[in-house]
Amino acid sequence: MKKPVSRVGALVALGLIVLGSNVWAMDNPPSAAMHLGEGEGRIVDPDLSVPAEDYRETWVFLGSFSVLADDPEEGAKEMHAVYAEREAVRTYLASGAFPDGAKIVKDVFETETEHLTTGTASYATHLAGRFVMVKDSQNRKADGSPLWGDGWGWAFYEGAEKQRTITTDYQSDCLGCHQPAQETDYLYTRGYPVLAR
Ligand code: HEC
């Protein structure tokens, strides 16, 4: 009985090493510098940037959505992974709302799909970009910037970019798609088990 168990242990360890190096590679794709030309995208507000810290390791993973390819046989064409800070999640669980300043990050990954021993399985590969939302319940920043309003700051960052957003106006770039989730403060909370406790 012991042998297979330790073999699994070794495989898990190997998997973690491989996963670890992949995560590093996603954050630092070789093309990152070329991805955004000079002057493309704008630094609008440090509060709305992609977190400088390694949120995938230290924040709470809320959940994921996979978006199927046009031909579902090909599996998922995108995987989305969503994170928030632990304190913000605690406040949400206690009060039902995220506190002002709470930042929600959604990673958008390209994928590979393989026939694994579990079935047709898709997994995250290259980071295509990141969406960020920041809570601003009183719309304090809404007068000063077209990226703030409806209780949130809204921005998208291409590839590994963390500060320069290509979003120019949340009403045209984001709101229409988030309107169906208005009842849950414009968040698709149904996909985040940790918030449902
Ligand atoms: C094409 C429609 C569409 C557009 C445009 C869009 N979103 Fe979303 N967004 C969604 C959907 C649907 C989800 C949840 C399901 C998923 O990720 O596939 C989501 C999820 C998110 C999440 C994770 C939290 C949540 O709401 O569940 C963030 C953060 C986010 N979007 C930010 C933005 C920002 C910022 C913009 C504009 C720059 C934007 N989105 C534009 C459809 C959209």
Return left, alpha or beta for 107; rule: phi > 0 is left, psi -120 to 50 is alpha, else beta.
Answer: beta
User: If you search the block for the tokens 């719309």, which residue do you land on?
Assistant: 139
Residues with CB under 6 A from ligand 1: 65, 67, 80, 82, 104, 106, 131, 133, 154-156, 167, 170, 173-174, 177-178, 187-188
Residue range 40-53: mean pLDDT, rounded:
90
Q: How far is CA 172 from CA 28, 102, 177, in A?
A: 30, 23, 9
Ligand 1 atom at shortest distance from the alpha carbon of 154: 35
Identify whether the C-beta of residue 64 lies closer than 8 Å to the C-beta of residue 79.
Answer: yes
Q: How far is CA 191 from CA 53, 80, 145, 196, in A?
A: 24, 11, 29, 9
Q: Which tens digits make up the pLDDT trace of 85-131? A: 999 999 999 999 999 999 999 999 999 999 999 999 999 999 999 99
Residue 40's pLDDT band, with cuts at 50, 70 and 90, is low
Q: Which tens digits make up the pLDDT trace of 138-190? A: 999 999 899 999 999 999 999 999 999 999 999 999 999 999 999 999 999 99
